[in-house]
Structure 1
């Protein structure tokens, strides 16, 4: 039987759709239950295909009853055209028959939906003890090339990477081993960190007090994303691993880049664990970061457990809504942090609590600077793209002199050595140039520093450097730079502003006179414009009009 969507169904579709293919937990903690609660909290529609009905509670796993693939195939056919997914989250797979069915199904769906993403949480063992699945890495091998992101905890990662549970390892090597199986990206969750078995933990005690999650996107990339959060002890973490993967799927369905989806997911998990951190029996030292209990649990079918006096009660993780509070967000582990810790602070912009920068023109020549300086602007950026260092030096020296006559905050784009040499007010550095810039020299020279960011991951990374301001963009699509996959929009801008503390935030990218006021109402300190001035028929008049709109 073929199911076809009605016209009414097609018109009503607004939320992103994710599918979850996983097991059902009758205690309501893990699997499908966690996925549905998480997805609804993050404003996605969740369709579920149940691979197994499990018999479990907060202390034991009694049975795993696999669902026949014929039933799964019927459900897939019912949903395939009516509610096609943006992302599929996979959890429990019980046997090789289900794996083979899933491989064939994903091949068909990826052909139908070229942008479809697949997130896999390789569930093998119940957090209360007992095996949910006996699938080996070899049995999963046909599935791996179809996986976009795999999200094992450390125990699962060792199994996938063919390491013994007691082996010493570097987590980045473990991640690379998993990528060699064919998946496109791996996130290793750090909730099960064992301070005796990681090389990093042997050097310090961070693993005992903090949870470090890592993300590696390709074997050819040297970029390893690492997020660090304090461990949160609670007895209410059952299903935290499932919720992590379904939250990641939800954020990806909202079109976030993986680095930002990873960051938001970690904030979501921290938020959920914190909601239950103070509940009675919620101070169990064995609990960490939603990955389940780390102490030993009863064997399957152990009926001697005294449920009424279970002091180690294991309750369901509590998914919240979209994370917006800074205290839930992780810190970003980066070599840049060490560089800045050893250098002076970057000077502030000298703004009062209620003062804002206003309109922020970004221009590419001295003639534009000469045109705009008399308009009493608080800040201007000079962005000159030239390979001639001698010519650049002359232009920047002249620009610094011109701006000082008008007491305007002039930021030089990228060329920090020349900005230091000629005593500019500040330098603006793009995210891609941060690693090559000498931040210590910039701070020591007294230059103010502005940094470009494109999403919450880069924003948090740059914020840790305590710059003079942070720019976020592109707010809208722009012709001046290819920002594919990095358009922020107003909603995301508002959410990122909540993470800024007292650092001024500049909105940039695709902002014209018509969009100016709605961007300004988000609460940014400045609105950067490029073509709204440089392509205006009357640039001076256009600038004055926009200044007036910003008050």
Structure 2
């Protein structure tokens, strides 16, 4: 059977980020996404104008049916949309881990869009609170990492796209150790790069790859998608998630 990744994320109607990005990135790794939409958004590839969280009860019912019939090997969470949804997702994770204690959860702690637009109903940090203690690996960018300062996770991959210099430096911290990867910084800005990377990590972990290998291959895939990115109009470019890895 093809391993499945249970995905909780918002719907971006531009198709550049959110659940659409997750489905494409996970499929590119050879796994299958089980997409559960947490929020409906009004946005394009540049700005977010409104967010409506999906009913937490509906989310729970969808996840319950999938968990009963599919071979779930990893979970990926983007925006929960609301605190109630985060609590519902946390309950799903705990139930699945009764049968599979090592089930990995990849958390993309999206606190705002690249332009600072809100992506949650209410306080974004409070919304992801119930998920932080359950995350196997958290994949924040530099501003998100600063907001999470002091929290401890089994694995933390801090991406350096918001930094300066000719190279993007991504740093992995785990069990008192650290490792870094360097990728050439590309011109322009991109919509959905964080979704692409975190979903690819979930896909690699669903295949059973060791952590270091999963992180390496997911980053190579994401970099390749950015190199081959395309435009929908003026502004941010869209990663080509069907492009080969670099």
The question of a shared fold, defined as TM-score above 0.5 by the shorter chain, is answered with: yes
Contact 1:21 1:90 in 2 (8 A): yes
Q: 1:125 to 1:137 in 2, by over 3 A?
A: closer
Q: What is the alpha-carbon distance in structure 2 between the residues aligned to residue 24 and residue 142 of structure 1?
A: 21
Corresponding position: 1:185 with 2:142: no
Query: Aligned equivalents of 1:33 and 1:136: distance in 2?
Result: 21
**Which residue number in structure 1 is paired with residue 220 of structure 2?**
267
Secondary structure, counterpart of 2:69 in structure 1? coil
- The gaps in structure 1 that reach 5 residues or longer are 1-13, 162-176, 194-206, 282-309, 329-551
Residues 111 and 124, structure 2, Cα contact 8 Å, conserved in 1 = no
> Displacement of 1:233 after TM fit?
1.7
1:284 corresponding residue in structure 2 = none
Pairing 1:264-303 to 2, within 5 Å after superposition: 264-276=217-229
Residue 235 (structure 2) aligns with: 313
Q: How does 1:191-210 map to 2 (within 5 A)?
A: 191-193=161-163, 207-210=164-167
Match of 1:82 among 63, 66, 69: 69
CA displacement 1:439-496 (0-9 Å, x = unmatched):
xxxxxxxxxxxxxxxxxxxxxxxxxxxxxxxxxxxxxxxxxxxxxxxxxxxxxxxxxx
The CA RMSD over aligned residues, in Å, is: 1.9
**Ranges in structure 2 where 5+ consecutive residues have no aligned partner:** none
**CA contact 2:3–2:71 (8 Å) conserved in 1:** no
Instruction: Pick one of 203, 214, 217 that aligns with 1:250.
Output: 203
Q: In 2, Cα distance between the equivalents of 1:257 and 1:53?
A: 34
Q: Which residue of 2 aligns with 1:92?
A: 79
SS in 2 for 1:62: strand
Larger Rg: 1
Q: CA deviation at 1:317?
A: 1.5
State which drifts further: 33-42 or 57-66: 57-66
Aligned residue number for residue 117 of structure 1: 104
In structure 2, do the counterparts of structure 1 residues 40 and 270 end up closer, same or farther at CA, with 3 Å as the change threshold? Answer: same
Residue 215 of structure 1 corresponds to: 172
Indicate if the aligned counterparts of 1:49 and 1:75 stay in contact, CA closer than 8 A.
yes
- 1:230 maps to what in 2? 184
Contact (CA 8 Å) 1:99, 1:140: kept in 2 or not?
yes
TM-score, structure 2 as length reference: 0.93
1:147 equivalenced with 2:135 (yes/no): yes
In 1, distance between residues paired with 2:231 and 2:13?
Answer: 23
Q: Does 1:36 align with 2:9?
A: no
CA distance in 2, matches of 1:57, 1:140: 24
Residue 81 of structure 1 deviates from its aligned partner by 1.9
Contact 1:145 1:184 in 2 (8 A): no
What's the offset of the Cα at 1:320?
2.8
In the TM superposition, what are the counterparts of 1:406-425 in structure 2 within 5 Å? none
Equivalents in 2 of 1:136, 1:242: separation in Å?
A: 17
> Contact 1:91/1:123 (CA < 8 Å) preserved in 2?
yes
Please state how far the C-alpha of 1:28 moved relative to its aligned partner. 0.4
Deviation at 1:280, TM superposition (A): 7.5
Question: How many matched pairs?
Answer: 245
Q: How far off its partner does 1:25 sit?
A: 0.3
Q: Does 1:127 align with 2:49?
A: no
Contact 1:157–1:178 (8 Å) recurs in 2: no
Shift of 1:117: 0.7
